[in-house]
Amino acid sequence: MNRMIRRSLCTLLMSALAGAAWAQSAPVKLRFGHAHSETDSQHLAALEFAKKVKERTQGAVEIQVFPNNQLGNDNTMIAGVRGGTIDMETSGNPFFTGLVPKLNALDLPYHFDTAAQAYKVLDSAVGRSLLNELEAHQLKGLAFWEVGFRSLANSRRAVAKADDIKGLKLRTTPNPAHIKAFQMMGANPQPMPFGEVYAALESKAIDGHENPPTLILSSKMHEVQKHLSLTRHAYTALIVVMNKGKFDSLKPEHQQVLLQEAGAAARLQRELNAKGEAGALAELRAKGMQVVENPDMSAVRDPVKAETRRQFIEKNGDAVLKAIEELR
């Protein structure tokens, strides 16, 4: 009887040890959602990110990418990551500013003249400090990718000067500075998640929106828009976030891999956008869009820039803006 008990105990112990070993070797699987198509630079960068993470962790961490709002729209995905039902996601910076209002500093109209200026800030200690503020909201900011410089598209008329914007119903981000800017231009701004924009354009619920040419092409908005004006009125970053509890549960070396490869994917995605813009414009023209290369925004540029900056400082102080200006 004693021998049988000992054998049973040994069997149980060996099973427990085998189970523990399997648990340690089983890969951590992470679901990563985004709002854009499989042809967009965001998706291509996400796939490369997943590939590199799997390689560098020797299969210990696997990332599965879900494009096209498969895990919900921007707001839903952010809420899912905060709650732990989604592991990772990426959305435009404005969708995080309700949690961290200081992030609005990155989206102010006419704040950056070139992409290089924006990258210098996003990849600096200032950018990291802004990402770190998301941790109080159960989010680990991994890196800034990009939406890019926004230009105005609509279905009603060519926008060759600022006055042409008056009366247009335009989808904007939820950034207060974007809303204020278009109000000052005489438009009717209507914030909504990106995933709802195509249907709203198709149904004529809105007249237009503001996005980079590469994104307009990848999301096929040229099918429901005829006019594009390269206003480049604001730069928008894209934030890659992960559930903070999930991130903290990983081995430190795997945490570092995620941070490093998210940064490497940011550089890749920016390169894809830079290389793709001229081709995107050519293709949009070929598909029937009429493009105004140099719209005259001089009547509104300075007033919009001054007022949105004043509005930001009134709510958030000027420390972040000063830190950004020191880097430019």
pLDDT per residue over 267-277, tens digit each? 999 999 999 99
Mean pLDDT along residues 13-42: 74
Q: Is residue 14 part of a domain?
A: no
66: helix, coil or strand? strand
Work out how many domains the chain is built from and give that number.
Answer: 1
Buried b (16+ CB within 10 A) or exposed e, 137-152: ebbbbbbbbbbbbbbb
For residue 141, the Cα-to-chain-centroid distance in whole angstroms is: 11
C-alpha to C-alpha distances, 261 to 116, 130, 166, 202, 257, nearest whole angstrom: 20, 19, 44, 38, 6
Q: Is residue 1 part of a domain?
A: no
Residues 48-104: tens digit of each pLDDT = 999 999 999 999 999 999 999 999 999 999 999 999 999 999 999 999 999 999 999
Query: Amino acid identity of 252?
Result: P
Q: Is residue 10 part of a domain?
A: no
Compute the C-alpha angle 153/239/267, nearest 5°: 90
Does position 288 have pLDDT exceeding 80, yes or no? yes
Q: Which of 65, 104, 142, 120 is nearest to 311 (CA)?
A: 104
| Range with the poorest average pLDDT among 15-24, 101-110, 192-201 | 15-24
pLDDT the model gives residue 180: 95
Scanning the structure block, which residue is given the tokens 């042809």?
Answer: 39
Question: What pLDDT band is residue 328 in, cutting at 50, 70 and 90?
Answer: confident
Question: What pLDDT band is residue 22 in, cutting at 50, 70 and 90?
Answer: very low
Q: Is residue 9 part of a domain?
A: no
Residues 142-151: tens digit of each pLDDT = 999 999 999 9
Does position 17 have pLDDT exceeding 50, yes or no? no
Structure tokens at 260: 């490093």
Question: What pLDDT band is residue 2 in, cutting at 50, 70 and 90?
Answer: low
Query: Amino acid identity of 218?
Result: S
Q: Is residue 147 part of a domain?
A: yes
Q: Is residue 6 part of a domain?
A: no
pLDDT the model gives residue 56: 98
161: helix, coil or strand? strand
Residue 285's DSSP bridge partners are: none
pLDDT the model gives residue 13: 52
What is the rounded distance in angstroms from the CA atom of residue 60 to the CA atom of residue 124? 30
pLDDT the model gives residue 129: 97
Does position 3 have pLDDT exceeding 80, yes or no? no
Residues 158-211: tens digit of each pLDDT = 999 999 999 999 999 888 999 999 999 999 999 999 989 999 999 999 999 999
| Range with the poorest average pLDDT among 5-19, 24-38, 113-127 | 5-19
pTM of the model: 0.88
For residue 52, the Cα-to-chain-centroid distance in whole angstroms is: 20
Half-sphere exposure of residue 174, counting CA atoms within 13 Å on the CB side?
17
Residues 116-128: tens digit of each pLDDT = 999 999 999 999 9
Q: Is residue 231 part of a domain?
A: yes
- The string of DSSP codes covering 90-159 is EEEGGGGTTT-GGGGGGG-TT--SSHHHHHHHHTSHHHHHHHHGGGGGTEEEEEEEEEEEEEEEESS---
Q: Is residue 181 part of a domain?
A: yes
Residue 67 CB neighbour total at 10 angstroms: 19
Question: What pLDDT band is residue 152 in, cutting at 50, 70 and 90?
Answer: very high
Report percent pLDDT > 90 for the chain: 89
Mean pLDDT of the chain: 93
88: helix, coil or strand? strand
Mean pLDDT along residues 137-142: 98
Query: Amino acid identity of 271?
Result: E
User: Which residue stretches of 176-227 are H helix?
Assistant: 176-184, 197-202, 213-218
CATH code of the domain in which 252 resides: 3.40.190.170
Mean pLDDT along residues 235-245: 98
Does position 18 have pLDDT exceeding 50, yes or no? no
Where in the sequence is the domain holding 223, given as residue range(s)? 26-327
